Amino acid sequence: MDNFVVSARKYRPDNFNTVIGQSAITNTLKNSIKNNHLAHAYLLCGPRGVGKTTCARIFAKTINCQNRTADFEACNTCESCRAFNESGSYNIHELDAASNNSVDGIRSLIEQVRIPPQIGKYSVYIIDEVHMLSNQAFNAFLKTLEEPPAHAIFILATTEKHKIIPTILSRCQVFDFNRIKIADIVQHLEYIAKTENIAYETEALNVIAQKADGGMRDALSVFDQISSFTENNITYEKVIETLNVLDYEYYFRLTDTFITGNIANTLLIYDEILNKGFEGNFFINGLSSHLRDLLVAKDSITIQLLEIGDKIKENYKNTASKLNNNFLYKALDITNECDLSLKTSKNQRLHIEIALIKLCNINNIEFHESQKKNSELENNIIIKPQEAKTTVINPQSTGTITSKPIFEQKNSSTSEASVSIKSAFTEPTILSNTQTETPNYNKKNNKFTLTKAQNYFNEFVKTLEFTKPRIYSILNNLELNFDETNLIFTISTNSSTQKTAIDENKLNILSFLKEKLENDLIKIDIQILKTDDPSESKYFTKQEKYDFLLQKNKNLDLLKTEFNLDFN
C-alpha cells in the first residue's frame, strides 16, 4: 500500500503560476529574475500557511535553473531543478532559526556562506522563523547580511515581523504576504477534490475555508480530516458536526424570532446553542457578524462583500429584505454593547439573554413610537372651527372670564381652521378686549392634590433605588411645594448637589408625573434655600467639607500645605 501524503505537501505549488492569492509578490519576483535585478537579501512576512516558504523555494529553484521557460519559470528538467525536486540540491540550504538561534549557529552559517555553489550560479539560504534569533545572533549576522559574497542570497521568512530588529529590516527587500481569500481557497479545494475523486458540497468547502482563517495549509489539513471522516463524501452537515461550527441556520432562526418578538423561542434557541458547547462570547460575536452581513446584504452593490456560498448568500438576501436599516442599526448597537461589557459580567448567560430580549423588543418599541407620533399629529394639526373657543379678558372688569366660539359656522363649505404643533406649547397670555387667545387643545389638565403629587414623586424616586442608588439617596424624602395658580412644583433644596441631581433627572421626573397625574402643564422649578448652618445640608462637596472644618481649626490649612495633601 502506498504511503499517504497529506494534501499540503502533495499539492504544494512548484512554480510561481501555481501560488494562490499572492500574485503581486510572485510577479515582482519573476520580474526581478527577468531583469536580473536580484537582491542579496529578502524578508518574507505574513501569517501562517500563506506561501512564504513555498515562494522562497520556488524563487531559489528558478534563479538556479539552467533552462528557464519563456515566462521565467523553472523547467523542472535540468540538473539543478531535478536535484532540488529530489531534495538533493547542494545550492539551496534551509535552516530553522528556532534551533539555530545562538551566535554559534550564525557563525557556522557565515563560514558556510564562503563556499561557492557546485551547480548553478547562486547559493540560497532560506532561514525560516527568523524572528527566533537572539539579539546577539542578529548583530553577528548584520555584516554578512549586508555584504555577502556575490553568489550568496538570503531569504528570511517570519510570521512576526515586529520582532525583527530595524537594522535587519533595512538590509532586506520586504514582502508582506496577505491572507488568502475564501473564494481562492474554495477554488483550490474544489480542484483537489476533483483530482482525488472526492464528492463535495460547495457550502461545505466554504465552511472549511472560513475555518482556515486565510491559511491554505490549515484549509488543506482540515480538508484531509473531513474527507477521512466522511469517507470521501464531504457534506455541509458533516463539516458542521466535525468542526463544531455554529450553523448559519441558528442565526437565521434567531433573526425570525427578533422580527416577530418571540422572546420564549429566542431563549430556547440560545439554550440549545449553549448545550452544544458554544461559549457566550463566541455566540455574541457570531451574532454581531450575522447582523453585519444582513446589513451588507440589503444592497446589491455591497452583497458581494459576503464571502459565503451562493445558497447562503440567497438566504441572507431574503432575510435582509424583511428588515429595515433602523432595526439593524439598533440590533448591532445592542450586540456591540453586550460584547464590550460581557467580560466584566458575573452572570454572562443572563447578560446575553437580556441583550436577546432587547433585540426581540426593537420592533415593538418602533411600532409604539410610530403610533404615538401619528396620534400626536392627528390630535394637534387639525382643529374643527366649531370646537375652537377663545378666552376674552376685560382689564377693566373684576376678572370675570367668559368663553365664546372663535368662529361661527355659516355653512357646510366653511374650511377648517388649523394650528401648528408649536402653538400647542405656547404660554398663555393676557389679551385685550379685541385680542383672542388660542388655548392648548388636547392637553390633559386634570386637577390633583399636593399629597397625590408627592406620592407619585416618591414612587418615581423609588424606581431609582437599585439602578441609580446615588440619585435615589439624594432625591429621597424631598418635599414638593405646590403653586396651584401656575401649576408649578417648587422643590426646595439647600444643596447644590441636590440641585444637580434634580437637573439631570428633570425630564424623567416631568414625564413620569405628567403621565401619572394626567396633567401636561406641570412644570418643575428649583428653589435653593440658603442657610448659614452647613449641618442642615445633607450632601456636600469635598471643598465644602474642607471649608467647614477650616473654620473650626485654622491649623488645618498649615497641615495641608506642610504635607502637600489633596482632597483625593
Specify the CATH number for the domain of residue 488. Answer: 3.30.300
Asked whether residue 565 is domain-assigned, the answer is no
172 and 227 belong to one structural domain: no
Q: What is the pLDDT of residue 425?
A: 39
257 and 324 belong to one structural domain: yes
Provide the strand spans (E) within 330-468: 382-383, 389-393, 401-405, 417-418
CA atoms within 13 A on the CB side of 303: 17
Asked whether residue 403 is domain-assigned, the answer is yes
Burial of 395 (0-12, 13-18, 19+ CB in 10 A): exposed
CA distance linking residue 386 with residue 416, whole number of Å: 9
By C-alpha distance, which of 60, 62, 128, 66 is closest to 91?
60
Q: In total, how many domains does the chain have?
A: 5
253 and 236 belong to one structural domain: no
Asked whether residue 320 is domain-assigned, the answer is yes
252 and 150 belong to one structural domain: no
| Neighbouring-strand partners of residue 345 | none
232 and 275 belong to one structural domain: no
Name the 3-class secondary structure at 552.
helix
109 and 130 belong to one structural domain: yes
Asked whether residue 42 is domain-assigned, the answer is yes
412 and 468 belong to one structural domain: no
216 and 253 belong to one structural domain: no
Q: 335: domain range?
A: 248-365
Q: Quickly count: other Cβ atoms within 10 Å of residue 502's Cβ.
A: 18
User: Which grid coordinates are listed for 510?
Assistant: 416631568
**Which of 515, 530, 545 is the endpoint of a domain?**
530
352 and 401 belong to one structural domain: no
Q: H or E segment at 436?
A: none
**Entry pTM:** 0.59
By C-alpha distance, which of 146, 67, 72, 134 is closest to 101?
134
Q: What is the pLDDT of residue 465?
A: 76
Q: What distances in angstroms separate CA 492 from CA 481, 509, 527, one per listed residue?
A: 8, 15, 5
123 and 47 belong to one structural domain: yes
Asked whether residue 553 is domain-assigned, the answer is no
Q: What is the pLDDT of residue 495?
A: 62
320 and 359 belong to one structural domain: yes
Q: What is the pLDDT of residue 3?
A: 75
69 and 96 belong to one structural domain: yes
Encoded amino acid at 482, one letter: F
* Tens place of pLDDT per residue across the chain (568 aa): 467 888 888 888 888 988 998 989 999 999 999 898 999 999 999 998 899 999 999 999 999 888 888 888 888 888 888 888 888 888 888 888 888 778 888 888 888 888 888 777 889 999 998 999 888 888 888 888 888 888 999 999 999 999 999 999 999 999 999 999 888 899 999 999 999 899 988 888 988 998 888 889 999 999 999 998 888 889 888 888 888 888 888 999 999 999 988 999 999 999 999 988 888 888 999 999 999 999 999 888 888 888 787 788 888 999 998 888 889 999 999 999 999 988 888 899 999 999 999 999 888 765 555 555 655 555 555 444 444 444 444 444 444 444 444 334 434 443 344 444 444 434 443 334 444 444 444 667 777 777 888 888 888 888 887 777 777 777 776 777 776 545 566 666 656 666 777 777 778 888 888 888 888 777 777 766 654 444 444 556 677 777 878 887 878 888 888 777 876 5
